[in-house]
Amino acid sequence: MHLTEQKDLIVRFISEAWNAGNTSQLNTFLHPAFKDYSLPAGMPPDATGLKQWIDQVHQSFEPLTVIEEHLAEPGHCMLRISMHLKHTGVWRGIPATGQTAVTSGFRSFAIKDGRIIEHRALIDGNAVERQLNEAAQLTGCQPKTAGNG
């Protein structure tokens, strides 16, 4: 697979799976032996876990991942990204604020036989939570706790 084909695979994966939330076509992007080393604890580190995570993110946000930098070498792609997350549903107990949180990070992909076989990510989720808590305070939204549902 040429480097331009690898980069195109990753751009389409980000666009279709993450930005659009279309998880029905994950198998076209993912190798049968796919492993994801970046999923939250408790989720299986495979295509099933990735689908669950994408679906969960889309229940709380309208996400837009912007690829700021895209590096490739044979069998590997690395992204520096920014994420713009419009908060439309409960996230970590914070009710929807309608505000957009912005964070940044890195995604690393290993590619085999024309599909993604491994994914790793380092994304600042604490920055998202901090921004949403600030927005919730400004809009009067109260985080959900055991006492308020």
Please state the domain extents for the chain.
Answer: 3-139
Q: What is the pTM of this model?
A: 0.89
What's the CA gap between 40 and 60, in Å, rounded?
A: 15
Tens-place pLDDT, residues 89-106: 999 889 999 999 999 999
Q: Indicate the length of the chain as a whole number.
A: 149
Tens-place pLDDT, residues 137-148: 887 766 554 443
Q: What CATH class is the domain 3-139?
A: alpha beta
β partners of residue 69? 80
User: Residue 28 to residues 47, 48, 57, 61, 105: CA-CA distances in angstroms?
Assistant: 11, 14, 21, 24, 25
